[in-house]
Structure 1
Amino acid sequence: MSRKGKSITLSISERDKTELLTLAQEWGYLWGERANISGLIEAIARRQLKIAPNNNWSELRIKILVKIVGILTDGGKIEEAKIIANLLLERSELSIPQRQKIEKFLDNSPPPWRLEIDSYIRRQQPFQLSYQDAASRLWNFTVRHAEINHREKREYLECWCEETEGNLDIPELMHNWSLRLDRLPETAIVPIDGKWLPSLDYIEVEMHLLRGLAFAYKSKSNDIIPPEWLEGDKRVRRVVRRVSNTFWFFREVLQYGADCVVVSPEKLRSRIKQKLLETLEHYS
């Protein structure tokens, strides 16, 4: 195979040479079966390939896209997260810590069982799984609805299950379970026939916010009625929320202390009152 034309010498690092070879391979500029940098450069010179800036994205755009990768990952949309992650790695604006974070994400792909669960949720496919709790007890669940949510730095599979034995929540929510994803055995998930439910079970909870919290509170996605001032009392704000799990609800409202009062339903109000009395006893 003859080769004609004037030669040039490129003074580049091995890393840059590797990148050029990769680009030549991707765009089909080959010498035999090997990537051809000369062919790539010739195509650029002849304007067969367009050169565009790779450093004109704002810092805000980069930060938002990095955050979206995390949101998609937490929501179980791993493939979508990978697409954006690879797009970010192509950008020169990415800081070293951001690049390391994205590379770590791509190098640590979710295990097959996690991808399987994500697939079942997308397809609305009921499934069965085994779960080992903190006391090393093994539970078997038949799942008819599931969501993956991020709570307190961990991911949880929040699901509606046929089984209720051992669930300590109020009767209306005993079909709902919150299972830590890192406790799911890898080989204990199988699809089953049957109907997929549209959502978890929910109850409506009314809260009154007092003092500084009344002004500082920002509406959350599961608030049915946005915060509103009580008629005749501009010091108290009313919030009505959908709640699927009282454990997580209590962990939120108890941190507000005396600035948050659960008004209804009565059975939930009684439970939180009992928790506060038990706490008070520890200080007696």
Structure 2
Amino acid sequence: MSRKGQSITLSISERDKAELEAIALEFGMKWGDRPNISKLIEEIAQRKLLIGNNNNWSESRIRALHRCIGALTDIGQIEQAQIIANLLLERSELSIPLRTEIEGFLKNLPPAWRLQIDNYILRNQPFQLSYQDAAGRLLNFTVRHAKVTPHEKRQYLDCWCEETEGNFDIPELLHNWSLRLDRITDAAVTSISGKWRTNLDEITVEMHLFAGLAFAYQVKPEDDINEWLPDQPRVKRVIRRVSNTFWFSREVMQYAPDCVVVSPENLRDRLKQKLRTLCQLYDIETRK
């Protein structure tokens, strides 16, 4: 005869019972097709499953992991962001507002086409992107290099495309596009043959920084040279690689008059025109 085990009665809520059943299923402990809580408790008693603390993570660790979710999302690593989000939700230390925020993130994951783009970028796979803009125009781009980049707190797809029509940047950068991702409600994304480019097209820009900006300026990854001019005290010379003059212009214009673009001439002319237009709006006379 088989020996019958001792029976115990658990006084738990339906929610806790459901959680125990979910854990039992996770570890393959079933009676037929149903989760077996008794088997789960037996495994714990025999120390085949170890119980660990779930309330001993420091606030700094939780805060760092929470920031990782945003950082990974910004660079298109959605799957990794999901893993960290689910890891945090397993912790009992989470505050209710933070738990609600993370649950909201998991409920509003990027659409399938965005995940496709992220996957192609990781694999260095050229692809074609087709979508309809707010004006109802069907836009098609053949993408041979791309990266998801935050510009002014929004996510953009900075990409090198074969198409140049409608791009108003300088001639050297006509193949570079910056597409705002949250304005694409739906898109068709398909892989194509051909080579993946190593980078966007770039130009070399020289600018001089004056006054407090020269001392406060922080070096950026795209800067090739950052030095003080020996013949002009308190003037810093910065030479940077630029792939989009729109974003570059927005950055340097906010620092005028403590930042002057020296070259290239076609970019310098564009900035001059912006300043002339601004002077006209403020009724300031300028020389031709």
TM-score by length of 1: 0.90
Q: How does 1:133-212 map to 2 (within 5 A)?
A: 133=133, 135-184=135-184, 186-212=186-212
- From the superposition, tell whether residues 186 and 61 of structure 1 become closer, same or farther in structure 2 (CA, over 3 Å): same
Question: What secondary structure is seen at the aligned counterpart in 2 of 1:195?
Answer: coil
- From the superposition, tell whether residues 240 and 96 of structure 1 become closer, same or farther in structure 2 (CA, over 3 Å): farther
Instruction: Give how far 1:187 is off.
Output: 4.7
Cross-structure match for 1:242: 241
Question: C-alpha distance in 2, partners of 1:7/1:134?
Answer: 64
Instruction: Give how far 1:213 is off.
Output: 1.9
How many residues are aligned here?
282
Question: C-alpha distance in 1, partners of 2:23/2:241?
Answer: 52
8 A contact 2:132–2:187 mirrored in 1: no
8 A contact 1:141–1:162 mirrored in 2: yes
Question: C-alpha distance in 1, partners of 2:13/2:239?
Answer: 61
- From the superposition, tell whether residues 49 and 159 of structure 1 become closer, same or farther in structure 2 (CA, over 3 Å): same
Question: C-alpha distance in 1, partners of 2:25/2:252?
Answer: 57
- From the superposition, tell whether residues 44 and 196 of structure 1 become closer, same or farther in structure 2 (CA, over 3 Å): same
8 A contact 1:145–1:198 mirrored in 2: yes
- From the superposition, tell whether residues 187 and 271 of structure 1 become closer, same or farther in structure 2 (CA, over 3 Å): closer
8 A contact 1:132–1:183 mirrored in 2: no
Long gaps (5+) in structure 2:
284-288
* Same amino acid, percent of matched pairs: 64
Q: How does 1:57-96 map to 2 (within 5 A)?
A: 57-96=57-96
Cross-structure match for 1:5: 6
Cross-structure match for 1:282: 281
Instruction: Give how far 1:176 is off.
Output: 0.4
**Superposition CA RMSD, Å:** 2.2
Q: Structure 1 stretch 148-157 or stretch 270-279: which is displaced more?
A: 148-157
- Name the amino acid aligned to 2:222: N
Question: C-alpha distance in 1, partners of 2:100/2:271?
Answer: 44
Question: What secondary structure is seen at the aligned counterpart in 2 of 1:148?
Answer: strand
Cross-structure match for 1:221: 221
- Name the amino acid aligned to 2:146: A
Question: What secondary structure is seen at the aligned counterpart in 2 of 1:221?
Answer: coil
TM-score by length of 2: 0.89
8 A contact 2:131–2:186 mirrored in 1: no
- Name the amino acid aligned to 1:4: G
1:228-254 CA distance string (max 9 Å, x none): 322244422222211100011111111
1:1-33 CA distance string (max 9 Å, x none): 9852041433x4433332222112212333343
Long gaps (5+) in structure 1:
none
- From the superposition, tell whether residues 112 and 281 of structure 1 become closer, same or farther in structure 2 (CA, over 3 Å): same
